Structure 1
Amino acid sequence: MTALEDLLQLPTARGSEHYAKIRLTDALPRRPGVYLFHDRVDTVFYVGKAKNLRTRVRSYFYGDHRRTVTTMLQELDRIEHRVCATELEAEITELRMIHAHRPRHNRRSKPPKSSHWVKLTKEAFPRLSLVRTQREDGLAYLGPFRSRRSAELVMTAIWEALPIRRCTARPGKRDGQCAAAQLGVSMCPCDGSLSEAEYAPIVEHLRRGIAVDPSLLLDPLAEKMSDMAALRRFEEAAWARDRYRALARALQRRREWQALNRAGLLRVESDTGDGALIERGRLVLAWNGTTGPALTSATAGLDDDWPPTPPSVRIAEETHLIWRWLTGTRVRLLDASGSLALPRRPIPKPSLADVGSHR
């Protein structure tokens, strides 16, 4: 026992089957960081973060009888830890370690094996397509998504907001219109009756909705959500809400990525003294209680070529964590190699938050 907190917790440890393994925590400091649980063959099976490494890890031994915790303690053979300067660094280090090791007990945050994007194709009559790679081809992308299902939900949301082409048939090669065109939910060139000039405004509307004004895509979904709720068709209203949220999230993540890329190299500091050096949405260095490094020739390595969305789910999640810290904490900008600016039009939020209670 090395502290009062250990003495206070001792009664809750009685009867703990694996309490003897608490000796593995002896070297853990009372500082922010990340801990990795290893099994007998030295495989990392769980990664976690903590404001206080020693307190957090020892809490597993103090009467936590959840089946998952009991299983982890049974498998535990060694504890590795990495001290971090700040909580932000711990959060991002945890994310990186989970993606690197793919621990079997990190089920909720387990990274996907592949990423998915929604892409606007480069054709005479562009349509939406699901792809697994993002190319630097100047086209509009949304993503990356953790699953094909998530990508399909966003694509369905756009289909519902705009009568964008859905069929894959070559224009003018069908005797009649496709089913979507017959139902009046899309403008399709499959029977040759639609000209490029007639279709072009729909594509421009979509591009502007993605890059400039998200309300062009979200307002139609919000209107349907309200209409369905007014008709007491709450299940359909909830489906519309889910599509709205998925699309709004994808548009917001794209904004975060582009804003941080335009900013280039950032040196920022919070009012608590936590500082960070951020390069295009990725954490380079963190510190606490010092002024941190100055921006020097490091900016010379930055170029102007970067994809419209993050190149992987891991980078997208890291960018989001940094954006959340920048906008949710009182921080001041010390230096920047570019410009950090927020869009004039925020992403609209759905007004029917209680729809789910009627499902």
Structure 2
Amino acid sequence: MPGSTVTPSSPHWEAQLSFEELGRPLREVTFCVVDLETTGGSARDGDRITEIGAVKVRAGEVLGEFQTLVNPDTSIPAFIAVLTGITNRMVADAPRIGTALPAFLEFAAGTVLVAHNARFDVGFLKHFAGVHDLAWPDFEVLDTVKLARHVVTRDEAPNHKLSSLATLFRAQTTPNHRALADARATVDVLHGLMERLGGLGVDTLEELQAYSSRVAPAARRKRHLADGLPNAPGVYLFRDEGERVLYVGTSKDLRRRVRTYFTASEKRTRIGEMVQLAAAVTGIECATALEAEVRELRLIAEHKPPYNRRSRFPEKVTWLKLTKEPWPRLTLVKRVLDDEADYIGPFSSRARAEEALAALHEVFPVRQCTGRLPLRPSRSPCVLAELDRCLAPCDGSVDVQTYAAVVRQLRDTLQRRPDDVVEQIDARMRTLAEQERFEEAAQHRDRLAALVRATARTQRLSALTRCAEVVATRREDDGRWSVHVVRFGRLAGAGVIPSGADAVAYVEGLRASSETVLRTPGPTPAASAEESERVLRWLEKPGIRLVDVVGEWSCPVAGSARFATLLTKVGT
């Protein structure tokens, strides 16, 4: 196993010390920046470490590096091999974690551990230290993701992933899902963050750790904006001086939550900007937490507040459609029609929909040309026919019955059982991974993930949206019984049974006063897909009691949800 090596380097940042500083100056702190590659996302679920990489730095200078592959004593999934480039053959002769981990702990002794998403990396290391009865040192831990969230704005980088931050700070190493390379890139990100904060007077480790809790005096002076809000569940809206809605949020305790925006509890940079603009906060009290969540989604879609990042444009979605015609084909559309066609989605982006479409075209040779074909077409075939990727009904190469049989298999994949697609694409990925053609394999991985996720979503939504009404109740954490009326996937009514009231009479009264909802075509919910998914999460909680179901609420046993674990490991 490779030992640590000292690699001198010029400083990436300058420490700026005041005459009366307190705490440990950053230039005197030794950091050990670590990154892991693993077989999946959770050590508790049986995933293992496949590589450890670390860089030891002080005052911007590299003191040493540590790298080793790790034999996980299990097969590396094809998806992970594609992502990292680490194959079973590469780790066959590598040391096991019981040998590799003590060597790393010796290398990192006496340092402050740094990682990008430290909860993941440190969590794996601590887990296997416990498995092998190794004493875990009392490391201080610094997470560059958390620090970046307070320093890097949305305008500078699309997100706080390592690759985005490495580009922003012009890291000398490009992250590539290999442990040492990613650790080197994280070093440059750490130095870039320190440079910025140095200009703000952050010179010690203690100041760096506490930076996110700083609150501007102007924000503290606005605490009175929460005074008129109730200590009850609901939705709150921040507004500027012109009454424009800046931000919409939800909480189980409106007053307490809104007060945190003006205290040390609020750490998000963008929200700090919003608080500076806020002139008023209004609250809408809700009967239940689910009602509050749904109202939040609807208000965000209505007002499109600039400081809400998600849920602002529920109308901007894409659907994958299997047409209803003599020679059906797959196409991407913006809305669902009442035309007896099959629809999958919605997809949050057209790019994801195109990936799912490509996965289906890999397996099912249905036509890809646009427009309708007559029952007896007489066209010239395209190049796809020559490549055996299309049955070519255009020139009569296939009869209606044969083509219809393929379409039935395709429809079964979309509605009930995706095994054929999963097996064929997974086999192709494994072959490409063994040939170390990782870029091509990654393309197939992304396509499969997009398809499985979309079909699983459609199957869950369809199960609920085809029910004219679902009435359910649950004893919540506060001991009260909440009741919800759901019609065609939309929350139509919500309430809490009063103490001592006739429960049956209360539920019937709520049903009678709930919103009238009309059925929508296809799998489209009568609300946004996100609202219906929030309702589903509540309905699937332990302790739910179904009062009545009008319709059939069921999902296919062999449906796409079976592959949820696979998607979690892929991380797409």
Change (3 A) 1:248 1:24: same
Please point out which of 378, 394, 399 is paired with 1:172.
378
In 1: Cα distance, 2:392 partner to 2:513 partner:
50
1:307 paired residue number: 521
Q: Cα distance, 1:230 vs. partner?
A: 4.2
Deviations 1:205-262 (A, max 9, x none): 1122222333344433333344444444444343333222322222222222322234
The partner residue of 1:247 within 451, 458, 466 is 451
User: In the aligned structure 1, how far is the partner of 2:455 from the partner of 2:366?
Assistant: 18
AA at the equivalent of 1:122: K
SS at the partner of 1:126?
coil
* 2:272 aligned with 1:70: yes
1:76 Cα offset (Å): 0.4
Counterpart of 2:231, as a letter, is: R
Amino acid at match of 2:471: R
Q: Which amino acid aligns with 1:282?
A: R
Q: Give the RMSD, CA atoms, in angstroms.
A: 2.9
Contact persistence 1:167–1:188 (CA under 8 A): no
Q: Which of 117, 120, 126 is the equivalent residue of 2:319?
A: 117
Range 161-170 or range 45-54, more displaced:
161-170
Q: What is the Cα deviation at residue 268 of structure 1?
A: 0.7
Structure 2 residue 452 is the aligned partner of structure 1 residue 260: no
SS at structure 1 position matched to 2:528: helix
Give the Cα–Cα distance (whole angstroms) in 1 for the partners of residues 353 and 409 of structure 2: 20
Q: Which has the higher contact order (CA 8 A, sep 6+)?
A: 1
Which residue number corresponds to residue 141 of structure 1?
Answer: 343
Q: 1:288 to 1:298 in 2, by over 3 A?
A: closer
Q: Between Structure 1 and Structure 2, how many residues are aligned?
A: 342
> Is 1:43 matched with 2:253?
no
Q: 1:311 to 1:25 in 2, by over 3 A?
A: same
State the Cα distance separating 1:308 from its structure 2 match. 1.5
Select the structure of larger CA radius of gyration: 2
Specify every segment of 5 or more residues in structure 2 that has no aligned partner in the other structure, as ranges. Answer: 1-212
Q: Are 2:267 and 1:54 aligned?
A: no
Cα distance change, pair 211–352 in 1 and its aligned pair in 2 (3 A)? closer
User: How high is the TM-score relative to the length of structure 1?
Assistant: 0.84
Q: Which residue of the other structure, out of 282, 285, 299, is the alignment partner of 1:97?
A: 299
Structure 2 counterpart of 1:329, one-letter code:
P
The whole-number CA distance in structure 2 between the counterparts of 1:27 and 1:260 is: 38
Deviations 1:305-348 (A, max 9, x none): 64222167x52111111112212333111122333333322323
Unaligned runs of 5+ in 1: 1-11
Find the aligned partners of 1:243 and 1:118 in 2 and give their Cα distance.
Answer: 13
Q: Is 1:127 paired with 2:329?
A: yes
Shift of residue 132, structure 1, vs aligned partner: 2.0
Instruction: Give matches, 1:193-342, under 5 Å.
Output: 193-272=397-476, 273-290=481-498, 291=503, 292-294=506-508, 306-310=520-524, 315-342=528-555
With normalisation by structure 2, the TM-score equals 0.54
1:155 aligns with 2:357: yes
CA distance in 2, matches of 1:229, 1:355: 17
Closer, same or farther in 2 for the Cα pair 1:328/1:221, shift >3 Å? farther
Contact 1:277 1:286 in 2 (8 A): yes
Offset of residue 118 of structure 1: 1.5
1:138 to 1:44, Cα distance in 2 relative to 1, 3 A: same
Work out the CA distance in 1 between the residues paired with 2:348 and 2:216: 41
Instruction: Tell me the secondary structure at the aligned position of residue 333 of structure 1.
Output: strand
Mapped to 2, the partners of 1:206 and 1:107 lie a distance apart of: 36
In 1, distance between residues paired with 2:219 and 2:234?
Answer: 24
Q: Which runs of 4+ in 1 moved over 4 A?
A: 12-15, 295-299, 350-357
SS of the residue aligned with 1:61? Answer: coil
Q: Deviations over 1:106-135 (max 9, x none)?
A: 123321553322212233321111222321
